[in-house]
Amino acid sequence: MSASECIFCRIASGEIPADVVYRDDDVVAFRDTNPQAPTHVLVIPRRHVPSAHELDDAALTAALFAAMQRIADDQGLGDGYRVVTNVGPAAGQSVPHLHFHLLGGRTLGWPPG
Per CB under 6 A, 18 contacts ligand 5GP = yes
- How far apart are alpha carbons 48 and 6 in whole angstroms? 8
Stretch that binds ligand 5GP, among 29-37, 53-61, 70-78, 103-111 (CB under 6 A): 29-37
Q: In this complex, which beta carbon is closest to ligand 5GP, that of residue 11 or of residue 63?
A: 11
Least distance from C-beta 69 to Zn ion, angstroms?
Answer: 23
Sort strands 81-84 and 100-104 into parallel, antiparallel or unpaired: antiparallel
Cβ at position 79, least distance to ligand 5GP in Å? 22
Q: Which residues contact 92 (CB under 8 A, 6 or more apart)?
A: 86
40, 53, 97, 99: which one is catalytic? Answer: 99
- Environment class of 39 (CB within 10 Å of its CB; exposed 0-12, middle 13-18, buried 19+): buried
Q: Which is nearer to ligand 5GP, 52 or 78 (CB)?
A: 52
The one-letter code for the residue type at 52 is A
Which residues make up the interface to ligand 5GP (CB under 6 A)?
7, 18, 30-34, 42, 86, 92-95
